[in-house]
Amino acid sequence: MTTDAKGHSCPIGSHIRRSNPRDSLPVGPAQSRTISKRHQIIRRGEIYREPEPELQGGSNGRDQGLVFIALNADLRRQFEFIQQTWLNNPNCNGLQGEKDPLIGDNDSSGMFTVQGSTTDRRLHGLSRFVKVKGGGYFFLPGVKALTFLAGGI
């Protein structure tokens, strides 16, 4: 059941709604849920910081950020699809010219619409929020390989 089809509680262009639209795609709630399930991934973030001297507080310009980890079975159907079709698409889900507000490559001219019950509010001037410092694809063995390694075949 759609409880927020118009984006009043969670804006349609928000990062969380783009990365997992659940029942909010324009094809209708039932088909939207089916499509969303086909592209689901397990995602986690882990904070990292350079060590600080014991007696000093604050970041003191030390490097800090978030390591993003996604687990999925089919890289193209899951992670790459989410990145290209939902997150990096400026016209995703009926939006016009809006990049993801969190990870989009906004250049101080980015926009974000907050849907309202009487009128929408458009925020202008979004700049880049996340700077990617590196990335890579790392593969884990599948269940069959793990079973084999455990001597279960």
pLDDT digits (tens, 9 = 90+) for 87-110: 989 988 888 899 999 988 888 888
Quote the domain boundaries for residue 123. Answer: 15-50+62-132
CB–CB of 115/8 below 8 Å? yes
Instruction: Report yes or no on 86 lying in a domain.
Output: yes
Give the separation between CA 14 and CA 121, rounded to whole angstroms: 13
Instruction: Report yes or no on 152 lying in a domain.
Output: no
Which of 107, 103, 111, 98 minimizes the C-alpha distance to 129? 103
Instruction: Report yes or no on 4 lying in a domain.
Output: no
Check residue 22 and give its pLDDT.
Answer: 85
pTM: predicted TM-score of the whole model, two decimal places:
0.77
Which of 5, 53, 50, 14 minimizes the C-alpha distance to 32? 5
Instruction: Report yes or no on 101 lying in a domain.
Output: yes
Task: Convert the pLDDT of each residue in 33-92 to its tens digit.
Answer: 899 999 999 999 999 887 766 555 555 667 788 999 999 989 999 999 999 999 989 988
Which of 73, 86, 76, 80 minimizes the C-alpha distance to 22? 86
Which of 80, 88, 77 minimizes the C-alpha distance to 15? 88
Q: How many domains does the chain have?
A: 1
